[in-house]
Amino acid sequence: MNLIDRVSRQFEDNMRTALEALEMLAAPIAGAVELITASLLENGKVLVCGAAGSAGDARRFAAQLVNGFELERPSLAAMALSADASTLAPIAGEPDTSTLFARQIEVFGHPGDVLVAIAANGEPMRILDAIGAAHERDMRVIALTGADAGRIAARLGPADIHLAAPADRSARIQELHLLILHCLCDGIDCLLLGVED
């Protein structure tokens, strides 16, 4: 086995997938930037949840909104629903953890807020329930998924945004999700600060 060739294939696969995603997702990502920015300007907030390994992406995205991305700016109202251990512990001890995020949305979500739901693998019930809870609170939803996310897509309303990475491999989906989240951070900063380039 030639490890250099194998590494090269990983890079090439990543680039191919990213270029395919660019054609499909540039306009919806721009729409997501505008949606989040409008909510923040109206004193709304961004609630972020991620299933399994995507929980780390959710925490990172919320932290970048609160603490800043690449430009100096005031903190933005964002909260990762998978970050508060004292809130999650009682729920996680229950046999049915599908309400893990929905309960927090019921408490912290308000009309005009935005839910960013991230699911790189499968369609976990907790993400589906989170989307339902967000809709009950008159929140809009931005869902980041892989290519195979029919039940999540079916839960989204006409005002929601679905950013489906055109990939089946978990590694490619997760890489694209991180790129999408960085695009969101950059776009929000540029709109809020009036940056042109």
pLDDT in tens, 165-195: 999 999 999 999 999 999 999 999 999 998 8
Evaluate whether residue 63 is within a structural domain. yes
Evaluate whether residue 1 is within a structural domain. no
Which residue, chain included where needed, has tokens 């589906």? 128
As given in the structure block, the two tokens for residue 13 are: 């696969």
Average confidence (pLDDT) over 58-80: 96
Q: In whole angstroms, what is the distance from residue 88 CA to residue 103 CA?
A: 10
Evaluate whether residue 8 is within a structural domain. no
Tell me the residue type at 12.
E
Buried (b) or exposed (e) across 97-116, using 16+ Cβ within 10 A? eebbbbbbbeeebeebbbbb
pLDDT value for 88:
52
Evaluate whether residue 67 is within a structural domain. yes
Evaluate whether residue 187 is within a structural domain. yes
Evaluate whether residue 40 is within a structural domain. yes
Report CA dihedral (179, 141, 49, 177) to the nearest 10 degrees.
-10
Segment 134-176, tens digit of pLDDT: 999 999 999 999 998 889 999 999 999 999 999 999 999 999 9
Average confidence (pLDDT) over 19-41: 97
Q: What radius of gyration do the chain's Cα atoms show?
A: 17
Burial of 165 (0-12, 13-18, 19+ CB in 10 A): buried
Number of structural domains in the chain: 1
Q: Which CATH number covers residue 19?
A: 3.40.50.10490
As given in the structure block, the two tokens for residue 192 are: 């809020």
Evaluate whether residue 3 is within a structural domain. no
Evaluate whether residue 2 is within a structural domain. no
The boundaries of the domain holding residue 72 are: 13-193
| pLDDT > 80? residue 197 | no
As given in the structure block, the two tokens for residue 185 are: 């951070």
Helix, strand, coil percent values for the chain (each to nearest 5): 55, 10, 30
| pLDDT > 60? residue 18 | yes
Q: Are 129 and 155 in contact (CB under 8 A)?
A: no
Strands, E, within the chain: which ranges?
46-50, 78-80, 114-119, 140-145, 161-164
Tell me phi and psi for residue 152, to 5 degrees.
Answer: -65, -45
Would you say the pTM of this structure is higher than 0.85?
A: yes
